[in-house]
Amino acid sequence: MTNNEFLLKHLRNVPDFPVPGIQFKDVSTLYKNPRCMKIMVNELYELYKDKGITKVVGIESRGFVIGAALAVKLGAGFVMCRKPGKLPADTLSESYMKEYGKDTIEIHTDAIEPTDNVLLHDDLLATGGSMKAAYNLVKKFNPKNIYINFIIELTGEGLNGRAVFDKDVEMTALIKI
């Protein structure tokens, strides 16, 4: 799949956010445009319609937007992977290192079954820390298959997020920059 020019045209770049030197890719401009939303959901549906996806796991919080819409289109359930203290029932947690410290994500203990085919979705892959933590959490449930998807994959210097995953992990991105 190649970069969709319409999506690229509507992706906002915010210089020096959240810290100087970072060029933040703001997907909110894609979410607010109905044509962009339709393109993203339809392209992802085409990628995963034949994978037997039974659960889509969205990573807090931007992964909830397209993840939930895609789950509906795939006829799958939607599972939230959240920051600590946000899920009301029993959870499993996984910590990971970020560029500026440690963070943790959680998922309900009854979220996934061994019979599930799971698609993990988030907006952006940079260093891979949060998605690797989510992947490790989902692996604890021993589902049949785990797939990973992003709207954007950053491929610039020092941002090889794919490298934190085993080579056999099937991973896609709609846009590679």
Tens-place pLDDT, residues 24-64: 999 999 999 999 999 999 999 999 999 999 999 999 999 99
pTM for this predicted structure: 0.94
Comparing CA positions, the residue from 151, 145, 152 lying closest to residue 170 is 145
Is 62 catalytic? The answer is yes
Is 99 catalytic? The answer is yes
Q: Which residue is catalytic, options 43, 60, 99, 170?
A: 99
CB 41 within 8 A of CB 66: yes
CB 24 within 8 A of CB 54: no
Query: Is residue 141 assigned to a domain?
Result: yes
Query: Is residue 41 assigned to a domain?
Result: no
Neighbours of 18 (CB within 10 A): 9
Cis peptide before 93 (omega within 30 of 0): no
Q: Which residue is catalytic, options 62, 82, 94, 153?
A: 62
Banded model confidence at residue 2, pLDDT cuts 50, 70, 90:
low
SS3 13: strand
Q: What is the pLDDT of residue 138?
A: 98
Query: Is residue 61 assigned to a domain?
Result: yes
Query: Is residue 13 assigned to a domain?
Result: no
Query: Is residue 40 assigned to a domain?
Result: no
Q: What is the pLDDT of residue 120?
A: 98
Q: What are phi and psi of 107, to 5 degrees?
A: -145, 145
pLDDT, tens only, 53-104: 999 999 999 999 999 999 999 999 999 999 999 999 999 999 998 766 799 9
Quick one: residue 85, left, alpha or beta (phi over 0 = left, psi -120 to 50 = alpha)? left
Domain that holds residue 80: 51-176
State the total domains in the chain.
Answer: 1
Query: Is residue 64 assigned to a domain?
Result: yes
64: CATH: 3.40.50.2020
